Amino acid sequence: MEPAAHQVPGADSAGETGDAGERGGMRGIAALSLPARIFVSIAVAVVTVGVAFHVAMVFLQTAPDNTVSKRHAEVVDSYVYPEFERNWKLFAPNPLQQNVAVHARARIAAPGGSTKTTGWVDLSAMDGAAINGNPAPSHTQQNELRRAWEFYADNHDEKGKSYGLRGRLSEQYIKRIVMLRFGTELNGGSVERIQVRAVVTPVAPPEWGDEKTDSKTEYSVQPWWQVTSADLPGGAK
C-alpha cells in the first residue's frame, strides 16, 4: 500500500530491486560516499529553506495586512513582484455590485469647416453584445475596456486629474481603445477630440429579498481630449 507504488524512484538501487518503500531511498542515500552524502544533506537543507521562504512570501502577500507583512513589506514586495503576484480574490470580499459602462463621444471636423459633436456611444454595450451567447468570449471583449477603465479610475482622482506615470499611461490607453473603435473618420468628418464618461449602475437588489437600495445611475464625465497621432492604431511605437 505504499504511495510510492506509482512513483518513479530515481535512485538506481531502489529502481533495480523494486525496494520502493521506506528503505529504498534511504539505501540510495546510505550507499553514497561521505562527500556525496554531505552534498545531498546541504541540498535538502537548501530546498527546505527555499520552499519555506517562498511559501512564507506568497502567504504574506495574499494574507490581509498584518503585523508581519507590514514589518517586512519591502522584502515581500521585492520578492513577489512582478512575477509571483496574485492579483485576484475570486469575488472577495464582495462581488462587484454595479455595472460600469464606458461611453465615448467625439467632436468632428466636418468638411465644410464646421465642427459637430456626436452622441454618446456605449462601448461597453458593444462588448456585451459580443459576449452575449458566446461560450468563449475574447479578452478583447471581456477584459480590455473593463480593466482599462479600472486602471484609469485607480490612477485618477474624482476630477480626472492623473496620478503620475500610471495615470498618464492609463489615459493614453483609454484614448487608444476609443480611437480603435471609432476610427479616424466618423459621421463623415475626422475625429479631432474625444470625451469619455463612466456610467455606473448599481445592480438592483434581488426581487426575492427585502432590501431596498438606491439604484441611481451615476455619471463620471472626463474632460475632452485632443486626439494626436499617438492615439491612433499604428501610432506611438
Residues 154-193 that bind another protein (CB under 8 A): 165-166, 169, 172-173, 176-177, 180
| Minimum distance, C-beta of residue 105 to another protein, in the bound complex (Å) | 18
Smallest gap from Cβ 115 to another protein, in A, equals 25
> Which of 145, 157, 152, 146 minimizes the C-alpha distance to 169?
152
Distance of alpha carbon 12 from alpha carbon 86, whole angstroms: 40
The C-alpha cell at 235 is 501610432
138: β partners: none
Residue 127: exposed, middle, or buried by beta-carbon count in 10 A (0-12, 13-18, 19+)?
A: buried
State the minimum distance, in angstroms, from the CB of residue 116 to another protein: 26
Q: Answer yes or no whether residue 210 interacts with another protein by CB under 8 A.
A: no
| The only residue of 111, 113, 133, 188 in contact with another protein, by rule CB under 8 A | 133
Q: How far is CA 230 from CA 65, 98, 171, in A?
A: 40, 33, 12
Q: Min. distance of Cβ 237 from another protein in angstroms? A: 5
Cβ-contact 2, 21 below 8 angstroms: yes
Q: Would you count residue 146 as binding another protein (CB under 8 A)?
A: yes
Choose which of 68, 70, 71, 85 interacts with another protein (CB under 8 A).
Answer: 85
Site for another protein in 24-63 (CB under 8 A): 24-29, 31-33, 36, 39-40, 43-44, 47-48, 50-51, 54-55, 58-59, 62-63
